[in-house]
Amino acid sequence: MSESFDLIVIGAGPGGYVCAIRAAQLGMKVACVEKRATLGGTCLNVGCIPSKALLHSSEHFEETKHKLADHGVMVEGVTYDLARMQARKGEVVSANVKGVEFLFKKNKVTWLKGAASIPAPGQVKVGETTYAAKNIVIATGSESMPLAGVEVDEKQIVTSTGALELEKVPGHLVVIGGGVIGLELGSVWRRLGAEVTVVEFLDRLVPSMDTELGKQFERVLAKQGIKFKLKSKVTSAQKADDGVTLTIEPAAGGAAETLKADVVLLAIGRRAFTEGLGLKEIGVAQDERGRVITDAHFATNIPGIYAIGDAIAGAMLAHKAEEEGVAAAEILAGQHGHVNYNAIPGVVYTWPEVASIGETEEQLKARGVAYNVGKFPFTANGRARAMGDVDGFVKILADKTTDRILGAHILGADAGTLIAEIAVAMEFGASAEDVARTSHAHPSLNEAVKEAALAVGGRALHI
């Protein structure tokens, strides 16, 4: 047996690297195994960060070309340089992943390079070397979900990874799956000139979202030129030199039609990735979707083995993985780490953005909870008007009896930043009245949150 550690974390994504740093802060001797050439996992390398870099770049182009004239800023002959846009994205990723390497050095976390397996509880094997570990945290993340009949080659038929690397704007991009990846990356390529068609199995986009929000989101994206084929499923994809022919059927059955695409983005969800760890051999229990089963303290059924992030149940979000990483490290240090799953925001970084936290109206109705709704449109917000970004609204749901905030759903400019206020309010168990009585700077988009909170009590001031 080679060196021994208090904790070995497998996977250096937002769950794993944050867990390793927190454990080191708490005095543990920590190693983190990562098989990728760089740290940061899906999120920093091929997920959150590169997608946001391209979203920002393409939004700058869109704004300059189509929106600035409204403000009296006249720019002639606006073009873009895709190679530069992609190179910039690479620079952003590189700076971020190097940042994690710096943090590992600063916190004395050892990076074990290579693919890990767990030959036995208390042991982690990397290459030919086996290390001893008092505790092991599995943070191996997730991978794109495959679809029968649609074979990914990352050139003509791509996952998000290939869609972030395209060297040419496709004439027609067909996206399979109207979820977060499809709408964010569909927006990027639509802004750069692609015709974009989204094929979605269900009758609405981002189905986990509040229905009213989802419907308005669809209208806003349709106005931007994205086409939707809802209640439809792709049954096959035939590749040829000049593109891909998709066969599409109504989800409920019926006559098939074909759709020609230059590039197809398969984005129908992600699934837990635990391949090569040897979990079956040592008896770590997994559910029917391959996720590692854990208790409320991230412990698996095998003593000394824990799991966090996309590899376990729950929202597949970087900040959820990070919260779990911190909580798991604190629990291992004998503290009381805890994650409040009711207050984890979800954001779609399109323009306008969509942000959600807590329960939707549909969920509250299903649970039989009586609630009040406060809604405020951005058309009535002075700052949104000054910006020229008036699409969307803020909706706050509060318990009818106690006024405690149970959920909030925002479509609008900077919704992802606005939702943070509600996250803090919910962490503190705040009522809508608490938010309504808090002074919000004028003129700010945040005033729409205050007004929605006032509207819960039927007394919005500006509508």
Footprint of ligand FAD (CB under 6 A): 10-16, 33-36, 41-43, 47-48, 51, 115-116, 139-142, 160, 181, 273, 276-277, 309-311, 316-319, 321, 349
One-letter amino acid identity for 357?
Answer: I
- Range in contact with ligand NAI (rule: CB under 6 A) among 166-174, 263-271, 433-441, 448-456: 263-271
How remote is the C-alpha of 207 from its chain's centroid? 14
> Binding residue for ligand NAI (CB under 6 A) from 125, 233, 375, 450?
233
d(Cα 295, Cα 299) in Å, to the nearest integer? 5
**Considering only residues 308-327, where is the footprint of ligand NAI by CB under 6 A?**
315-317
Catalytic residue (one of 60, 338, 442, 462): 442
- Range in contact with ligand NAI (rule: CB under 6 A) among 181-189, 324-332, 389-397, 436-444: 181-189
Residue 188: contacted member of ligand NAI, ligand FAD, none (CB under 5 to 8 Å, by partner type): none
Site membership for ligand NAI, residue 178 (CB under 6 A): yes
Site membership for ligand NAI, residue 270 (CB under 6 A): yes
Site membership for ligand NAI, residue 181 (CB under 6 A): yes
Residue 139: contacted member of ligand FAD, ligand NAI, none (CB under 5 to 8 Å, by partner type): ligand FAD
d(Cα 218, Cα 388) in Å, to the nearest integer? 20
Q: Could you tell me which residues are beta bridge partners of residue 144?
A: 270
**Considering only residues 345-384, where is the footprint of ligand NAI by CB under 6 A?**
346-349
d(Cα 315, Cα 142) in Å, to the nearest integer? 12
**Considering only residues 187-216, where is the footprint of ligand NAI by CB under 6 A?**
199-202, 207
Both tokens assigned to 415: 């919704």
Site membership for ligand NAI, residue 273 (CB under 6 A): no
d(Cα 24, Cα 93) in Å, to the nearest integer? 25
319 tagged catalytic? no
Residue 186: contacted member of ligand FAD, ligand NAI, none (CB under 5 to 8 Å, by partner type): none
Residue carrying structure tokens 């391209």:
54
Sequence-distant (≥ 6) Cβ neighbours of residue 291 within 8 angstroms: 272, 311, 312, 313
- Could you give the 3-state DSSP secondary structure of residue 178? coil
Q: Which residues bind ligand NAI (CB under 6 A)?
A: 147, 176-182, 184, 199-202, 207, 233-234, 267-270, 315-317, 346-349
By annotation, the residues acting in catalysis are: 442
